[in-house]
Amino acid sequence: MGEEKRWYKHYPKEIPTTLSYNEKPLHMFLEDAASLYKEKKALYFMGKELTFAEVHNQAKRFANYLQGLGVQKGDRVAIMLPNTPQSVIGYYGALMAGAIVVQTNPLYTERELEYQLNDSGTKVIVCLDILVPRVSNVKKNTPLEHMIVTGIKDYLPFPKNLIYPFIQKKQYNMVVKVEESSDTHLWTSIIEKAEASFQKVDIDPIEDTALLQYTGGTMGFPKGVILTHRNLVANAQMCDAWIYDTKKGEETVLGVLPFFHVYGMTAVMNLSILNGLKMVLLPKFDAGDVLKTIHKLKPTLFPGAPTIYIGLLNHPDLNKYDLSSIEACISGSAPLPVEVQEKFEKVTGGRLVEGYGLTESSPVTHANLIYGNRISGSIGLPWPDTDAKILNMETYDEVEVGEIGELAVKGPQIMKGYWNKPEDTENTLKDGWLLTGDLGYMDEDGYFYVVDRKKDMIIAGGYNIYPREVEEVLYEHEAILEVVIAGIPDPYRGETVKAYVVLKEGYAVTEEELNKYCRENLAAYKVPRIYEFRKELPKTAVGKILRRQLVDEEKKKEKVSSSLSQ
């Protein structure tokens, strides 16, 4: 243990500093689980349960069908689903077929979906029936050849499966009827008719890509992060080592974090399959539903984000539910307020700690110890086999302990690069080190802290929002002369999106009109919640808009408001 890895001295004896990694492709997690935990329940979804053997069987059928459609090794298959059995089966089945999974947010607008399908070169998409109009509208402008359609009702027990279409009609004001054709396929037919066997594909875990996970781009265009089988296997095994008290084949994990987000995919789905844990799937976050689910089904592990925990703690009926089954939670996606951590632990009796990661690191690199010393406000210690250091942003030299610089990380979970973006890859990966873009420092004991973001990314409700992408949409509005998007403090979402707008002379537009326009062109979580109309925006001498100055103004206003209310 060198002095440069000073964090090792805090590791409990149960956590090794280095791990022996599974030398198999990621989908072998499911094959192994089906052998070890065959009749154990793997999934619970709104009353329906599937065993590991059943999930494995259906994944093999899906792999078989994909290969029948002509999907070959390296072809991209998009999964545009909320947390449902299909999202798990489709994910592992696509990997079995040798495909690269492209996780696609079901909230994407046509504009966002079209870009991702074109950039990734996706050949097949699995989507919900209610998303068919959206996918159909962009299909002709993309390389997409096949659409596999499923619905929430497909895995509901009787009589919920009969009732759900009426609920769907009321909720979405649409009746969904999809006809099979040469390029449109029904999930239920596939699972019923396809053979539970497929042509095994030779996969090199270290070199071959398992996943394209899209994250924001510097020019407003999302980038496909290339994550290999080894990247994802390693991070799941690291997570397993960190929560070493987990009883394999026995725990129940609450799956409310979306699997189309890399954190939910690793810390819930892949970890659960690796350890034979039962996943309770919730297709969306609703505080009341989550409380009822915990009370009824007694999950023991609950990975989440600060907004999820805040939403539960602020629910008016919180005291009516027993949450004492919760034993361990790692919070990610945004900073965890100390008061939230303390209150949640008091309510549940379990442990809630903050972690840190990026899409580019599969995602976790740091976390506080669940069963050991933790420091509030710190992102914790680097995980096994993960190195970290703080760099001078100009020279890239390592800075002294306690000095602020850019956090850089290195380890087997670090991405291979960005899809078709060699320049971005070169700027982000330096000699195997990932430059995170986050500013922070390390203390004498090897605990790390993030103090600010070098990039202007906004994290609202656990979602990453890139200002330039929102600005590009607003700049297309005929009335807008200048606009800048900034994240301002929000007690619930962590940050919220605010638009500072300068209108063209002679034009008028209301906040309501801009809101409607943005909702037509952006996923709901990216839409500005606040609009401020100004005559001009602060700029540098060369005309660059000073986003940071606007953010600082908001922080000062919040500070004044807070002091007045005390």
- Token pair for residue 520? 């037509």
The residue whose two tokens read 């690796």 is 274
Q: Which residues contact 204 (CB under 8 A, 6 or more apart)?
A: none
* Average pLDDT score over residue span 41-66: 98
**In the predicted model, is pLDDT for residue 542 greater than 60?**
no
The residue whose two tokens read 């306690």 is 402
* Domains of the chain with bracketed CATH: 388-453 (2.30.38.10), 458-565 (3.30.300.30)
Tell me whether strands 122-128 and 41-45 are parallel, antiparallel or unpaired: unpaired
* Average pLDDT score over residue span 324-342: 89
Q: In angstroms, what CA-CA distances link 451 with 221, 337, 364, 447?
A: 26, 14, 18, 13
Which phi and psi angles does 482 have, rounded to 5°?
Answer: -140, 150
Low-confidence winner among 60-74, 117-131, 408-422, 482-496 (lowest mean pLDDT): 482-496
**In the predicted model, is pLDDT for residue 195 greater than 50?**
yes
User: Average per-residue pLDDT in the chain?
Assistant: 92
H-helix or E-strand spanning residue 95: helix 85-96
Q: Which residues contact 322 (CB under 8 A, 6 or more apart)?
A: 294, 295
Tell me whether strands 76-80 and 41-45 are parallel, antiparallel or unpaired: unpaired
**pLDDT the model gives residue 146:** 98
1 DSSP 8-state letter: -
Please list, residue by residue across 99-136, b when 16 or more beta carbons sit within 10 angstroms of its beta carbon and e when fewer do. Answer: bbbbbbbbbbbbebbbbbbebbbbbbbbbbbbbbebbe
pLDDT class of 539 with cuts at 50, 70, 90? confident
Q: To 5 degrees, how large is the angle CA 158–CA 161–CA 164?
A: 135
**pLDDT the model gives residue 561:** 67
* Average pLDDT score over residue span 282-288: 94
**Which of residues 555 and 98 earns the better pLDDT score?**
98
**In the predicted model, is pLDDT for residue 217 greater than 50?**
no
**Which of residues 77 and 216 earns the better pLDDT score?**
77
**pLDDT the model gives residue 565:** 63
**Which of residues 372 and 86 earns the better pLDDT score?**
86
| Cα 55 to Cα 190: distance, rounded to the nearest angstrom | 14
**pLDDT the model gives residue 543:** 53
**In the predicted model, is pLDDT for residue 462 greater than 50?**
yes
> Are 366 and 383 contacting, i.e. CB atoms less than 8 angstroms apart?
yes
**Could you give the angle at which helices 338-348 and 306-313 cross, rounded to 10 degrees?**
60
- Strands across the sheet with 252-255, in order? 48-51, 41-45, 278-281, 252-255
pLDDT class of 296 with cuts at 50, 70, 90? very high
Show the DSSP H helices in 429-528 as ranges: 467-475, 511-521
Give the closest residue to 9 by CA, choosing from 367, 449, 446, 354. Answer: 446
**In the predicted model, is pLDDT for residue 357 greater than 90?**
yes
**pLDDT the model gives residue 563:** 65
Percent residues over pLDDT 70 in the chain: 96
* Average pLDDT score over residue span 152-171: 85
The residue whose two tokens read 């050849």 is 145
pLDDT class of 259 with cuts at 50, 70, 90? very high
* Average pLDDT score over residue span 182-194: 97
**In the predicted model, is pLDDT for residue 564 greater than 80?**
no
pLDDT (tens digit, 9 = 90+) per residue, 361-391? Answer: 999 999 999 988 889 889 999 999 999 999 9
**In the predicted model, is pLDDT for residue 219 greater than 50?**
no
pLDDT (tens digit, 9 = 90+) per residue, 403-420? Answer: 999 999 999 999 999 999
Low-confidence winner among 92-96, 193-197, 255-259, 466-470 (lowest mean pLDDT): 466-470
pLDDT class of 19 with cuts at 50, 70, 90? very high
| Cα 104 to Cα 99: distance, rounded to the nearest angstrom | 15
pLDDT class of 541 with cuts at 50, 70, 90? very low
Using alpha carbons only, how large is the chain's radius of gyration in Å?
A: 23
* Average pLDDT score over residue span 525-546: 83
Q: In angstroms, what CA-CA distances link 560 with 32, 60, 487, 553?
A: 58, 60, 18, 11
Low-confidence winner among 198-212, 474-488, 513-527 (lowest mean pLDDT): 474-488
> Are 228 and 221 contacting, i.e. CB atoms less than 8 angstroms apart?
no
- Token pair for residue 54? 């059943």
